[in-house]
């Protein structure tokens, strides 16, 4: 089947590109997954589309520097309070005015314990939001939080319109979003398309692309074919085994951002036996040959890691990749009382690079040390609906590129009680919480190092590798990829 796909694609690559409809003023993006909902306060998927519908108070430029967004400036009033001055004259797409009340409403909505926002961990440090005047808002944290401006640069801090939400309700809003961003929502047909149009009144100026259509094309070969035939102009998640083929056509190009993708890991439900035993968790950790997986299955387009924290993140600690040592794994299992191994369920989906093949390889490596794996491969839309995941072992990808801080890389997936976390280590919880209270950068960095060292010893989850971001684009599309993996439509142009 792989040979057939390659031959089919080779024929397609030889066919001249047929321009996509409206390509002079628009763009068609092929995605590997369907969009389920577009409420930025309750995201259970990548924020790729909502990035372009909504704005945050603080933004990151293409060099990853924090720059003004809906806030023109900000300052620390005291150790617990940050003041933001808001941009005047900005309106939501429905004409509703953007002001301090909208900021307060947005944050209070996510912090509401009854709302059960899966993204609450990013802004959990906030204690209250005060409206000083229509263009000034003060955010008070429970304890000193040096990352507060950074937290205001990503979801769930995209500002939403209070009056519209009160009128239509959360469910309608999730499929008919209204923001202040560069693009207005036009249409959402589940499993078919999301259509956006340029916001001519955008505060940064009118975008170049008039209409952008996001199309789910789950099949990798079909997605590549759609690009090289001109059916789409940009695609996400280029499969590693087909990436070299993009260079065979003069009309398309591969966009590769080294380590620009997610860090793939195995989540572990420590509240379920036998994963409550650190010897078992360490045995799993040493049973995986990360280098073989990245070299052979992922063709070098991913990097084995010993931590969830990336090299560009503040607080990064250069930890060694856990050694592949099946004999040590067997020894640890015997010490834990599982000399004959055990049976366990591992859940995964098809969201990431060769996700299914990687899961199968890991299951085989576990089998080599006596662990019998029941594999469950779930549709992404089903997989992401329940947190914490049932597991007890589950494969997931996580990123910190939008904050460039270790906190985003670890807190939500290692702090007990967080929606995406299966961990339960009081000592780790204490360190994670402490890292959010320290203002002094040097002292905070030391605590973040302790977090990573403790995680390496106790294995609350198993870090596997960091993907490269692989995208494909038509040769006339000016898009080079960003370190934070965002597709910022405002910055894309066409020749």
> Is residue 221 in a domain?
yes
User: Is 267 in the same domain as 360?
Assistant: yes
> Is residue 401 in a domain?
yes
User: Is 215 in the same domain as 242?
Assistant: yes
Residue 186: C-alpha distances to residues 97, 156, 193, 320 (Å): 20, 22, 10, 48
Residue 110 belongs to a domain with what CATH number?
A: 3.90.76.10
Res. 20 pLDDT band, cuts 50 70 90: very low
- 467 phi, psi to nearest 5 deg: -75, 150
Res. 142 pLDDT band, cuts 50 70 90: very high
> Is residue 62 in a domain?
yes
Residue that terminates a domain, selected from 100, 133, 164: 164
Predicted pLDDT of residue 17 = 41
> Is residue 176 in a domain?
no
User: Is 345 in the same domain as 415?
Assistant: yes
Cα–Cα distance, 481 to 16 (Å, whole number): 25
> Is residue 292 in a domain?
yes
User: Is 80 in the same domain as 227?
Assistant: no
Residue 494: C-alpha distances to residues 53, 208, 359, 450 (Å): 20, 8, 39, 47
User: Is 463 in the same domain as 477?
Assistant: no
> Is residue 174 in a domain?
no
Q: Are 97 and 104 spatial neighbours (Cβ–Cβ below 8 Å)? A: no
User: Is 92 in the same domain as 77?
Assistant: yes
Contacts of 63 (CB under 8 A, 6+ apart): none
Answer whether residue 279 shows pLDDT above 50.
yes
pTM of the model: 0.76
Predicted pLDDT of residue 382 = 84
Cβ burial, residue 268 (10 Å; 0-12/13-18/19+) = buried
DSSP string, 285-304: HHT--HHHIIIIISTTSEEE
Give the tens place of pLDDT for each residue, 125-140.
999 999 999 999 999 9
Predicted pLDDT of residue 294 = 97
Residue 470: C-alpha distances to residues 196, 256, 411, 442 (Å): 23, 5, 27, 35
User: Is 303 in the same domain as 347?
Assistant: yes
Cα–Cα distance, 216 to 42 (Å, whole number): 21
Predicted pLDDT of residue 133 = 98
Q: Which helix (H) or strand (E) holds 469?
A: strand 469-474
User: Is 136 in the same domain as 189?
Assistant: no
> Is residue 137 in a domain?
yes
Contacts of 231 (CB under 8 A, 6+ apart): 18, 20, 28, 30, 225
Predicted pLDDT of residue 21 = 40
Report the domain count for the chain: 3
Give the tens place of pLDDT for each residue, 366-397.
999 999 999 999 988 788 777 788 999 999 99
Q: Are 73 and 85 spatial neighbours (Cβ–Cβ below 8 Å)? A: yes
- Best CA proximity match to 445, nearest among 407, 483, 399: 407
Predicted pLDDT of residue 12 = 46
User: Is 103 in the same domain as 231?
Assistant: no
Predicted pLDDT of residue 401 = 66
Helix (H, G, I), strand (E, B) or coil at 205: coil
Q: DSSP secondary-structure letter at 325?
A: -
Residue that terminates a domain, selected from 164, 190, 219: 164
> Is residue 177 in a domain?
no
User: Is 24 in the same domain as 160?
Assistant: no
Copy the structure tokens of residue 106.
Answer: 């947005």
User: Is 101 in the same domain as 149?
Assistant: yes
Residue 193 belongs to a domain with what CATH number?
A: 3.40.190.10
Question: Which domain, by its residues, includes 72?
Answer: 53-164
Give the tens place of pLDDT for each residue, 36-60.
889 999 988 888 999 999 999 999 9
Pairing type for strands 469-474 and 234-235 reads antiparallel
Res. 402 pLDDT band, cuts 50 70 90: low
User: Is 410 in the same domain as 442?
Assistant: yes
- 210 phi, psi to nearest 5 deg: -75, -45
- Percent of the chain at pLDDT > 90 equals 74
First to last CA, the chain: 37
Copy the structure tokens of residue 175.
Answer: 């499929």
């Amino acid at each position: 089947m792989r040979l057939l796909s390659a031959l089919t694609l080779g024929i397609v690559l030889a066919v001249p590109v047929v321009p996509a409809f409206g390509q002079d003023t628009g763009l068609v993006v092929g995605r590997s997954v369907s969009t389920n909902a577009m409420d930025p306060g309750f995201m259970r998927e990548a924020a790729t589309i909502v990035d372009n519908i909504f704005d945050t108070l603080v933004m990151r430029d293409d060099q990853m520097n924090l720059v003004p967004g809906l806030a023109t400036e900000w300052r620390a009033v005291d150790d617990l309070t940050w003041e933001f001055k808001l941009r005047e004259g900005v309106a939501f797409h429905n004409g509703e005015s953007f002001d301090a009340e909208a900021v307060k409403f947005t944050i209070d909505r996510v912090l509401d314990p009854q709302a059960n926002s899966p993204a609450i961990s990013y802004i959990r440090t906030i204690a209250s939001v005060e409206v000083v005047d229509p263009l000034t808002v003060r955010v008070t944290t429970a304890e000193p939080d040096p990352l507060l401006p950074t937290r205001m640069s990503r979801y769930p801090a995209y500002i939403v319109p209070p009056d519209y939400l009160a009128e239509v309700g959360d469910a309608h809003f999730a499929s008919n979003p209204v923001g202040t961003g560069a693009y207005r929502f036009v249409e959402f047909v589940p499993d078919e398309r999301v259509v956006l149009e340029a916001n001519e009144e955008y505060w940064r100026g009118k975008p170049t692309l008039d209409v952008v259509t996001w199309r789910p094309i789950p099949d990798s070969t079909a997605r590549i074919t759609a690009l090289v035939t001109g059916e789409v102009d940009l695609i996400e998640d280029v499969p590693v085994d087909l990436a070299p083929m993009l260079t065979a056509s003069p009309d398309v190009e591969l966009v590769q951002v080294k380590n620009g993708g997610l860090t793939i890991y195995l989540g572990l439900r420590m509240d379920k036996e036998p994963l409550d035993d650190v010897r078992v968790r360490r045995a799993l950790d040493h049973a995986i040959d990360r280098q073989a997986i990245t070299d052979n299955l992922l063709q070098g387009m991913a990097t084995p890691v010993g931590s969830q924290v990336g090299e560009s993140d503040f607080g990064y600690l250069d930890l060694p990749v856990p050694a592949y040592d099946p004999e040590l794994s067997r020894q640890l299992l015997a010490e834990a009382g599982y000399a004959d191994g055990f049976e366990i369920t591992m859940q995964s989906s098809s969201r990431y690079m060769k996700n299914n093949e990687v899961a199968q390889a890991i299951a085989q490596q576990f089998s080599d040390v006596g662990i019998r794996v029941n594999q469950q491969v779930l549709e992404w839309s089903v997989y992401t609906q329940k947190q914490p995941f049932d597991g007890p072992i589950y494969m997931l990808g996580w990123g910190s590129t939008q904050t460039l801080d270790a906190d985003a890389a670890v807190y939500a997936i290692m702090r007990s009680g967080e929606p995406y976390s299966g961990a339960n280590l009081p000592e780790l919880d204490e360190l994670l919480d402490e890292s959010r209270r320290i203002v002094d950068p040097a002292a905070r960095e030391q605590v973040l190092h302790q977090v990573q060292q403790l995680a390496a010893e106790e294995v609350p989850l198993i870090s596997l590798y960091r993907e490269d971001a692989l995208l494909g684009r038509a040769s006339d599309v000016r898009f080079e990829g960003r370190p934070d993996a965002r597709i910022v439509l405002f910055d894309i142009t066409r020749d």
